[in-house]
Chain A
Amino acid sequence: MKTLALVLFVLWPFSLAAQENPALRRAGAAYRDLEYGQAIALCKQALRDRLRAADQERAYEILGFSFAALDSARQATDAFAQLVLLSPDRELDPARISPKITSLFALARAQVLVVRRIAVDSAHLIAGSQFVPVTFAVTRAARIQARIVGGGREVVLDSSRAEGTVRLQWNGLMSNGLPPTSGSYRLVIEASAGRDTYAASVPLRIEAGAVDTLAHLTSLEGYDLLPETVIPPRTWKPLALAAMAAGVVAGTSVALESAKLGGGGRRELLSVSLGTVSIGLLASLKRPAPVPAPANIRYNALVREQLARRNAELAMQNATRRRQVQLTIKPERRQ
């Protein structure tokens, strides 16, 4: 018994500086001094006063801890039940708190009906096409109804019996089938089980805007266009062709010369033949002209065809997107 009290004392999780109510402050001091009876009396006295919500939570916590220390399980559970109702998300660290106390706390939580750990992630979604997840936990089997309300409209996300962790999705549309306008909304979750009811809400900020359209593609990633012409290697073919042409013409001219008119005097032939060979040499030394690359041309045609097809698909998607609404959902701090 003393060991348990010592552990509770060492692991006492509260900050005394934040306690304003004098009776509550004295209750904390009595608990540290292992004067559990006095701590219980002071807490009850404090609870008869008008306490802030945070002080009420502390008062019921000290009560629960003190009753647990005195082995008053039922009263400890009642105090923890009040604590859970005031602070549904409150958790006790099992690594630091006695299992006796945490088990009593868990028992108390199972007895009350609360909705805990409500989570709505910040999200961007296209109304009607995408979903934003909503999760929460119900401590007991209950009929739950989750709604989003605001701007004079509402939509029911789910209405069914559930227990434990519940995962819902919202498609961004209100009950009239239209996306919400920009403004402040609330996610309201109501739970009812027999005569017990519980309601919790989370404020949401929703911004409605136009959906970004997709840019047309100018290239396909990983499929770059290839050069449609290639420069062939340098060749001496032009020089050979020029020399051959000059030789053919010179040979024909000489062969056609009339024997009666005499020979010699071929400066005209020699000058043009020399010029022809010179130009053949220049053409051989010149950088070759690019020539078409049929394989690359066919490949580029396929890539361009795919690009055109993809852009046609994007155009269709953009036509749809221009009719859609982009929602930005951001949970706000709870009041």
Chain B
Amino acid sequence: MRHWLISAALVLVAAPLAAQRVSIGAEGALADYREQGAALRFSGSGASGRVELSMWRLSAEARMTRLHVDGASTTADVTDAFDISQGEFRLRMQMRPRIGVEAALLSRKMDPEHAAQSMQAWRAGGVFTQPLAPGADLAVRAGYLAATAFGGGGTAPFGFDVGLNVSYGPGSGRVRLTADYEFQRVDRRTTVGGTRIDVPIQSAVARIGVAVRLGGQ
């Protein structure tokens, strides 16, 4: 993951600076994480940071989210709190002024390691962007999660990701309020004692914060 980020950063930095637009954001995050059954439901909060570099019709975004979650089910006393570190590196290309395609590499790690399922996956999907007014933009995205790998093993024939992003920047729009919602469902299957069982994973993360745009128009 780290090698990917460094390589992508080097490629983007090499591009002409005049064509680049950089956006840096810091957000507070709320999270709801569930896996296996209704008993393993966690909720919590944390912080998130992101850097986005846009150039011509391409954009690349790296995002890191750190969450602390605790049991939220009626049987929460049997669950321990843990931390989730979630990283994402995304490449997007605008095919039309309002329609783009994107590919992303996701990584979710738990601390302690076996508190919940760590996960790594590719996401491929599309995004629809709609300007609402000068300085106000809306984006809806959907993607399929593929090549999913879990810390505890297993496969996931179905995984889906839905997102909503909105931003508003009064004046020149260099400083923007941002809100981002991300919902993931992964139908993980594993085999225990020769029996295949379903252990689905579902997460919802809301991020609300501020982003600053540097360079460009």
Q: Which A positions have Cβ atoms within 8 angstroms of B?
A: 238, 241-242, 245-246, 248-249, 252-253, 256-258, 260-262, 265-269, 271-273, 275-276, 279-280, 282-284, 286, 288-289
Contacts and interface: CB of A to CB of B under 8 A. Distances in A.
B103 interface: no
B166 A266 contact: no
Interface in B128-150: 130, 132-136, 138, 140, 142
A286 B173 CA distance: 13
A284 to B, nearest CB: 8
A265 B32 contact: yes
B140 A272 contact: no
Closest 6 CB pairs of A and B: A283-B133, A268-B206, A262-B38, A272-B181, A238-B132, A283-B132
Contacts of A242: 132, 138, 166
A259 to B, nearest CB: 9
B34 A275 contact: no
Interface residues of B, number: 42
B97 interface: no
A279 B206 contact: no
A263 to B, nearest CB: 9
B62 interface: no
B179 to A, nearest CB: 4
B200 interface: yes
A279 to B, nearest CB: 4
B32 A268 contact: yes
B29 to A, nearest CB: 9
Nearest to B140: A245
B211 interface: no
B81 to A, nearest CB: 16
B37 A260 contact: yes
B181 A260 contact: no
A253 B204 contact: yes
A276 B167 CA distance: 8
Nearest to A271: B206
B41 interface: yes
B202 A258 contact: yes
A283 B202 CA distance: 33
B32 to A, nearest CB: 5
Given A269-B183, A288-B133, 12 more contacts: A241-B138, A245-B138, A249-B164, A249-B183, A256-B162, A265-B32, A269-B206, A271-B208, A276-B164, A280-B136, A283-B133, A286-B133
A174 B213 CA distance: 75
B164 A271 contact: no
Contacts of A288: 133
B206 A272 contact: yes
A288 B31 CA distance: 35
30 contacts: A245-B130, A245-B166, A249-B140, A253-B181, A256-B160, A257-B185, A258-B202, A260-B198, A261-B200, A265-B32, A265-B43, A267-B32, A267-B206, A268-B30, A268-B32, A268-B181, A269-B206, A271-B179, A271-B208, A272-B181, A272-B208, A273-B181, A275-B208, A276-B138, A279-B132, A279-B167, A279-B177, A284-B132, A288-B133, A289-B133
Contacts, number: 125
Given A249-B181, A272-B164, A261 B30 contact: no
B200 A283 contact: no
Nearest to B187: A258
Given A268-B205, A269-B204, A253 B162 contact: yes
Given A248-B140, A260-B38, A261-B41, A268 B132 contact: no
B132 A269 contact: no
Interface in B77-117: none
A96 to B, nearest CB: 87
A271 B181 CA distance: 9
Nearest to A241: B130
A283 B177 CA distance: 13
Interface string B5-45: 00000000000000000000000001110111110010100
A262 B208 contact: no
Contacts of B164: 245-246, 249, 272-273, 276
Nearest to B42: A265
Contacts of B205: 268
Nearest to B37: A260
Contacts of A272: 164, 166, 179-181, 206, 208
A289 B134 CA distance: 6
User: For B35, B166, B198, B205, which residue has the most chain A Cβ atoms within 10 angstroms?
Assistant: B166
A132 to B, nearest CB: 62
Contacts of B198: 260
A268 to B, nearest CB: 4
A103 B48 CA distance: 119
Nearest to B207: A272
Nearest to A251: B162
